[in-house]
Homo-oligomer: A and B are copies of this chain.
Amino acid sequence: MSSKKAVVLLSGGLDSTTCAYLAKHEGYKVYALSFDYGQRLVREIESAKKVAAAVGVAEHLVMKFDLGMWGGSALTSDIDVPTGHVAAPTIETTRIPVTYVPGRNMIFLSLGVSYAEAIGADKVFIGVNSIDYSGYPDCRPEFVQAMQKAIDLGTKAGVEGKGIHVEAPLLMLTKAGIIELGTRVGVDYSLTWSCYQGGEKPCGACDSCLLRRKGFQECGRVDPIDV
């Protein structure tokens, strides 16, 4: 078995799940890291656990911390999650959605890098996507590049060793493209959870549900958890 290790930031959503399967497909021992950060979507954590089991990860850690301490987002505070339209569908959109969580991907990447460095992993996979999530500044290629530089300069692995590479394989794909890629590497999308609301079934109306539906429609596939 390969001794190459990769940390995968795993929310249990469609994108991060695709990353976990990709890492496995590329021969990595997968170390999944999920965050219970006071978000509404605790349902995601359950999906992350199922995905981790299905992928056959070497370890799955769930780190708990409370970003709700300072709020600032519809996902961590009492601001309503918008429904009925996709807030950030195109690269031209500059409005930042209320579901933006201040500094989220910076925090997630930093924690993933810490984990990677402690276990000697080569890579941190993150499912950021700049096509469908262009409204989120921390989902853009230039942000990922800047973080890579900070990691190169600010870690022992970067300064002395082989480095830790941020792998963002979905960065420039459409949702349909992600689903196509994931399907090719065996992703079981029935395990994933995308809805921003915390209900028993996907609401079918929030940004995330709408993007998911659009993605499956565009690639002509059936969503196993039809939203």
Contacts and interface: CB of A to CB of B under 8 A. Distances in A.
Contacts of A116: 102
Nearest to A156: B96
B151 A149 contact: no
Interface stretch (A13-21, A59-67, A176-184, A205-213): A59-67
- Copies of this chain assembled into the complex: 2
Nearest to A141: B153
Contact of A111 (B103, B115, B119): B103
A117 B103 contact: yes
A63 B65 contact: yes
A146 B153 contact: yes
A66 B111 CA distance: 10
B137 A156 contact: yes
Interface in A114-132: 114-119
A150 B147 contact: yes
A160 B115 CA distance: 32
A169 interface: no
A71 interface: yes
Interface in A162-201: none
Interface of A: 61, 63-67, 69-73, 94, 96, 100-107, 109-111, 113-119, 137-138, 140, 142-143, 146-147, 149-160
7 residue pairs, one from A and one from B, having the closest CB atoms: A72-B118, A103-B114, A102-B117, A65-B65, A146-B150, A143-B154, A138-B154
